């Protein structure tokens, strides 16, 4: 197709502002999907996406639309809205020239709106602002329109009004995309080679790795021998095609187009997001790629049955082929056996990964408490990276600890600011800036440790703001951390699986909570068992689990009381000896109860 008739664009917005519903109406208006095949959230093909009503994985689609007597190819990439998946959004923005900034007319500008807008502006995209849900009786069209216009520094008339539910204004929005978004321009005009940017990929058991590409220069056809710029791996294009929204094979793809190439490669780590694919015979220079996503949340995952370890390894390998931001490595626990330490981009990402392992691979899992990465300097000036409490050095060996901090933006109605300030104090947050909007809402910019953000902050914020507050965050620099390691002792023996890294401010609270939880979960033994929490070499919380009682005098009938006293004394000595020498075997069920929130 002629380059002048191609438009590549994405839809960016805060979570639940109606991106997927708007994409549905676009597919209907452009007749990309026949009416009989239409359903809600067409581009959200994953079962979890349908169930939760959120987009997890970006999805490209090609629409052909007649406008002013010309047929245009509109390549849309629907992106996720949740902050954990902002890495997906950044990749999608590299493949397009324009973006629709969608804001819910009932909610107004939210925290994530700022984050995604900043990404799009940094990428130099044409921004087309639009209000969604304008048909809702709760819509505040005039106020929110003014808010968006002020945010972008434009006239209010330039903010478009659409309804994904009724289709109102969607045809006008498509016309604006055609008029305002620039057509793609090749960087090497007239080349007889080929060069494209990989912005995503998936894995098929039959076809191997299928890469999603934005063609930058030249063209590609089935049978061409290609090479990955970074890994240097050669392969033949077994099939090329476009998304409508399901894969449709074509003879070839040319500059400016978005489509897929089937590589036939069946191993992991060959395809990388941000890599360049070029013609083997006439290679062009590698394009600047993306920053590698670095995991910020770590958790250990073990199969409930040790027989499922190989299946878990296979499942993680397959998930990594479709989710390049997931990382994992094998680890062994003395109590839980063999498992994996998995690194994710956030708490929702971790939840989605573990849920997919359970659903798609029918695995029963034990998932440990999530933790962040700490940089620890020992007294001998050796630096170690720690992402598991069991690996945290002893108190006397630590010179300094650093942890990641985040910048958090919270937008909330002003009535809830008092509650939010109390919550921030509890989570070690420091407010650096506040801005008040015309509709009475306030935006707070806060810096806080990432570990505190993971300590149920999202749920507590929703609770104290009655669900009205919105939040987005960005990982910032490493700062000195005031944290220490807490060990749990059972019968005076440390259990590494129960160790945790906690804030020095909450030593007593966390210690008592952990001891109480284990006291409730651990079955009674034949002897008295001490459950203790040890921090910095001293015991800070303790409970005694009483022994099982047996009446040793039950078999006696009559006779002198001294016979009974002798037997009880003998039992007492036996219990004392067991307490000194006995070990407690902690069952799998107890570990499961301790791992759960």
Among the ranges 430-434, 436-440, 474-478, 549-553, which has the highest mean pLDDT value?
430-434
Asked whether the predicted pLDDT for residue 241 surpasses 60, the reply is yes
> 165 falls in which pLDDT band (50, 70, 90)?
confident
Among 480, 495, 518, where does a domain finish? 480
The string of pLDDT tens digits covering residues 261-319 is 999 988 777 777 778 899 988 888 887 755 566 777 888 888 878 888 999 998 888 88
First to last CA, the chain: 55
- How confident is the model at residue 423, as a pLDDT? 93
Asked whether the predicted pLDDT for residue 70 surpasses 70, the reply is yes
Do 379 and 232 fall within a single domain? Answer: no
Do 322 and 444 fall within a single domain? Answer: no
- How confident is the model at residue 285, as a pLDDT? 86
Any domain includes 291: no
| % of the chain at pLDDT higher than 90 | 23
Do 11 and 125 fall within a single domain? Answer: yes
Which segments of 336-437 are extended strands (E)?
337-344, 365-367, 374-378, 383-386, 398-413, 430-436
Taking residues 556-581, what's their average pLDDT?
72
Judge whether 104 and 18 are in contact, CB under 8 Å.
yes
Do 107 and 229 fall within a single domain? Answer: no
Backbone angles phi, psi at 569, to 5 degrees: -65, -40
Do 396 and 349 fall within a single domain? Answer: no
- Give the Å distances, CA to CA, from 433 to 194, 293, 446: 48, 28, 7
With 0-12 / 13-18 / 19 or more C-beta atoms within 10 angstroms meaning exposed / middle / buried, residue 496 is: middle
Any domain includes 290: no
Asked whether the predicted pLDDT for residue 86 surpasses 80, the reply is no
Asked whether the predicted pLDDT for residue 141 surpasses 80, the reply is yes
Domain of 346 in residue numbering reads as 297-367
In DSSP notation, 17-82 reads SSHHHHHHHHHHHTTSS-GGG--TTTT--SHHHHHHT---S-EEEEEEEEETTEEEEEEEEE---S
- How confident is the model at residue 45, as a pLDDT? 46
> 114 falls in which pLDDT band (50, 70, 90)?
confident
Which segments of 513-584 are extended strands (E)?
529-535, 538-545
> 205 falls in which pLDDT band (50, 70, 90)?
confident
Task: Give the residue among 50, 122, 53, 138 at the shortest CA–CA distance from 86.
Answer: 122
| % of the chain at pLDDT higher than 70 | 86
Do 122 and 29 fall within a single domain? Answer: yes
When the pLDDT of each residue in the chain is averaged and rounded to a whole number, the result is 82
CA distance 279 to 466: 56
Any domain includes 163: yes
Among the ranges 90-94, 199-203, 499-503, which has the highest mean pLDDT value?
499-503
Q: Which residue has the higher pLDDT, 478 or 570?
A: 478
Do 475 and 494 fall within a single domain? Answer: no
CA 149, 152, 153, 158 torsion-angle sign: negative
Any domain includes 188: no
Per the structure, how many domains does the chain have?
5
- How confident is the model at residue 88, as a pLDDT? 56
Any domain includes 580: yes
Instruction: Please list, residue by residue across 143-166, b when 16 or more beta carbons sit within 10 angstroms of its beta carbon and e when fewer do.
Output: ebbbbbbebeeeeeeebbbbbbbe
Do 241 and 259 fall within a single domain? Answer: yes
With 0-12 / 13-18 / 19 or more C-beta atoms within 10 angstroms meaning exposed / middle / buried, residue 515 is: buried
Instruction: Please list, residue by residue across 45-72, b when 16 or more beta carbons sit within 10 angstroms of its beta carbon and e when fewer do.
Output: ebebbeebebbbbbbbbbbebeeeeeeb
Task: Give the residue among 469, 345, 370, 274 at the shortest CA–CA distance from 83.
Answer: 345
Peptide bond between residue 268 and the one before it cis (omega within 30 degrees of 0): no
CA distance 356 to 363: 9
Do 224 and 305 fall within a single domain? Answer: no
Which segments of 312-397 are extended strands (E)?
327-333, 337-344, 365-367, 374-378, 383-386
Among 150, 180, 210, where does a domain finish? 180
Q: Which residue has the higher pLDDT, 147 or 552?
A: 147
Asked whether the predicted pLDDT for residue 54 surpasses 70, the reply is no
- How confident is the model at residue 44, as a pLDDT? 45
Any domain includes 334: yes
Asked whether the predicted pLDDT for residue 56 surpasses 60, the reply is no
Q: What is the CATH number of the domain that holds 272?
A: 2.40.30.10
Q: What is the CATH number of the domain that holds 55?
A: 3.40.50.300
> 225 falls in which pLDDT band (50, 70, 90)?
very high
Do 349 and 491 fall within a single domain? Answer: no
Any domain includes 285: no
- How confident is the model at residue 582, as a pLDDT? 59
Among 219, 246, 279, where does a domain finish? 279
CA distance 263 to 57: 21
Taking residues 401-412, what's their average pLDDT?
90
CA distance 586 to 225: 58
- How confident is the model at residue 129, as a pLDDT? 93
Taking residues 119-130, what's their average pLDDT?
89
Asked whether the predicted pLDDT for residue 260 surpasses 90, the reply is yes
Any domain includes 166: yes
- How confident is the model at residue 99, as a pLDDT? 92
> 130 falls in which pLDDT band (50, 70, 90)?
very high
Q: What is the CATH number of the domain that holds 504?
A: 3.30.70.2570
Taking residues 139-168, what's their average pLDDT?
89
Q: What is the CATH number of the domain that holds 333?
A: 3.30.70.870
Asked whether the predicted pLDDT for residue 467 surpasses 70, the reply is yes
Taking residues 482-505, what's their average pLDDT?
86
CA distance 552 to 531: 27
Lowest mean pLDDT, pick from 461-465, 510-514, 563-567? 563-567
Enumerate residues 6+ apart whose C-beta is below 8 A from 280.
225, 226, 227, 234
CA distance 95 to 8: 8
- How confident is the model at residue 565, as a pLDDT? 82
Do 392 and 362 fall within a single domain? Answer: no
Q: How far is Cα of residue 496 from the mean position of the Cα atoms in its chain?
A: 27
The string of pLDDT tens digits covering residues 324-381 is 778 888 887 666 678 888 888 777 778 778 888 888 888 888 777 778 888 999 888 8
- How confident is the model at residue 411, as a pLDDT? 87
List helix spans (H) across 47-205: 47-52, 86-94, 111-122, 141-152, 170-180
Do 157 and 32 fall within a single domain? Answer: yes
């Amino acid at each position: 197709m002629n380059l002048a008739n191609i438009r590549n664009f994405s839809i960016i917005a805060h979570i639940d502002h109606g991106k997927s519903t708007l994409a549905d109406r676009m597919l209907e208006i452009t007749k990309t999907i026949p009416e009989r095949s239409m359903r809600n959230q067409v581009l959200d093909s994953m079962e979890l996406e349908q169930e939760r009503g959120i987009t997890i994985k970006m999805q490209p689609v090609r629409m052909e639309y007649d406008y002013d007597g010309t047929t245009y190819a509109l390549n849309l990439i629907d992106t996720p809205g949740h902050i954990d998946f902002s890495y997906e959004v950044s990749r999608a923005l590299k493949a397009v020239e324009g973006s629709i900034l969608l804001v819910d007319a009932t909610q107004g500008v939210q925290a994530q709106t700022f984050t995604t807008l900043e990404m799009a502006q940094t990428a130099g995209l044409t921004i087309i602002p639009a209000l969604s849900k304008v048909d809702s009786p709760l819509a505040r069209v005039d106020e929110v329109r003014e808010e968006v216009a002020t945010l972008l520094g434009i006239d209010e008339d330039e903010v478009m009004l659409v309804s994904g539910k009724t289709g109102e204004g969607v045809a006008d929005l498509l016309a604006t995309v055609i008029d305002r978004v620039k057509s793609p321009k090749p960087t090497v005009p007239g080349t007889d080679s080929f060069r494209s940017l990989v912005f995503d990929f998936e894995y098929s058991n039959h076809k191997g790795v299928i890469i999603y590409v934005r063609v930058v220069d030249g063209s590609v056809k089935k049978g061409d021998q290609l090479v990955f710029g970074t890994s240097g791996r050669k392969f033949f294009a077994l099939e090329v095609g476009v998304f409508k929204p399901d894969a449709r094979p074509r003879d070839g793809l040319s500059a400016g187009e978005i489509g897929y190439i089937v590589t036939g490669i069946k191993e992991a780590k060959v395809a990388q997001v941000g890599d360049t694919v070029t013609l083997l015979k006439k290679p062009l220079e590698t394009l600047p790629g993306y920053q590698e996503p670095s995991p910020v949340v770590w958790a250990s995952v073990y199969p409930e049955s040790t027989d499922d370890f190989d299946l878990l390894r296979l499942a993680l390998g397959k998930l990594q082929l479709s989710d390049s931001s997931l990382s994992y490595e094998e680890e062994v626990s003395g109590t839980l056996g063999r498992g994996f330490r998995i690194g994710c981009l956030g708490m929702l990402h971790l939840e989605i990964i573990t849920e997919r392992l359970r659903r798609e691979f029918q695995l029963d899992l034990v998932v440990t408490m999530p933790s962040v990465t700490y940089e620890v300097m020992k007294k001998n000036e050796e630096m170690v990276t720690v992402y598991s409490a069991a690996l945290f050095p002893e108190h006397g060996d630590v010179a300094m600890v650093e942890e990641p901090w985040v910048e958090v933006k919270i937008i909330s109605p002003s009535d809830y600011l008092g509650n939010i300030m109390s919550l921030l104090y509890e989570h070690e947050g420091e407010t650096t800036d506040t801005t008040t909007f015309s509709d009475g809402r306030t935006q707070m910019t806060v810096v806080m440790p990432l570990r505190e953000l993971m300590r149920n902050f999202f749920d507590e914020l929703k609770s104290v703001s009655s669900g009205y507050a919105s939040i987005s965050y960005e990982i910032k620099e490493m700062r000195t951390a005031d944290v220490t390691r807490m060990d749990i002792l059972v019968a005076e023996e440390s259990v590494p699986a129960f160790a945790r890294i906690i804030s020095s401010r909450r030593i007593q609270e966390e210690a008592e909570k952990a001891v109480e939880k284990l006291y409730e979960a651990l079955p009674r033994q034949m002897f008295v068992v001490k459950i203790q929490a040890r921090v910095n070499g001293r015991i800070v919380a303790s409970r005694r689990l009483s022994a099982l009682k047996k009446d040793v005098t039950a078999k006696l009938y009559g006779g002198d009381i001294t016979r009974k006293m002798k037997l009880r004394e003998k039992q007492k000595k036996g219990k004392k000896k067991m307490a000194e020498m006995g070990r407690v075997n902690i069952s799998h069920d107890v570990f499961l109860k301790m791992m759960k929130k």
